[in-house]
């Protein structure tokens, strides 16, 4: 089983709608969580970090559920420019330098 798993999608979302998707992680020692955005195999860019129960940045909300070992990302009022692949990244407490990436969830926002 992969340490970090994501639904690959694609999630087809009408412009203005809300979309949410999850990322599950298997190692309970995981400490820090990140959502990165990647456009068409370009370099990933940080969307947000999550250290406690969640984080919110404008239209984007991340929620962490440690008991069930998943982190979600919700995008409200989707824009065409939100079309991208969203990568879930997990850092473990016992090895700060190591990072585990999910394979990504593709989101396609349609007019």
Partner 1 sequence: EAQVTQNPRYLITVTGKKLTVTCSQNMNHEYMSWYRQDPGLGLRQIYYSMNVEVTDKGDVPEGYKVSRKEKRNFPLILESPSPNQTSLYFCASSLGLAGGITPSTDTQYFGPGTRLTVL
In the complex, least distance from residue 64 CB atom to partner 1, rounded to whole angstroms: 14
- Choose between 31 and 110: whose C-beta lies nearer to partner 1: 31
Residue 29 binding partner 1, by CB under 8 A: no
- C-alpha 108/C-alpha 87 separation (Å) is 14
CB closer to partner 1, 25 vs 78: 25
Do strands 84-92 and 95-101 pair parallel, antiparallel, or not at all (unpaired)?
antiparallel
C-alpha span between 108 and 70 (Å, rounded) = 22
Query: Per-residue string for binding with partner 1, 40-69, x by CB under 8 A?
Result: -xxxxxx--x-x------------------
- The residue among 71, 104, 83 whose CA lies nearest residue 12 is 83
Least CB distance from residue 26 to partner 1, whole Å?
Answer: 14
């Amino acid at each position: 089983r992969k340490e970090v798993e994501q639904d690959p999608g694609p999630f087809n979302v009408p412009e203005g709608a809300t979309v949410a998707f999850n990322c599950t992680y298997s190692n309970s020692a995981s400490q820090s969580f990140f959502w990165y955005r990647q456009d068409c195999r370009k370099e990933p860019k940080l969307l947000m970090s999550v250290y406690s129960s969640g984080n919110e940045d404008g239209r984007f909300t991340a929620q962490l559920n440690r008991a069930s070992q998943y982190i979600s990302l919700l995008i409200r009022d989707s824009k065409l420019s939100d079309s991208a692949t969203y990568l879930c990244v997990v850092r473990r407490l016992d090895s700060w330098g190591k990072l585990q990436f999910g394979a990504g969830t593709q989101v396609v926002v349609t007019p």
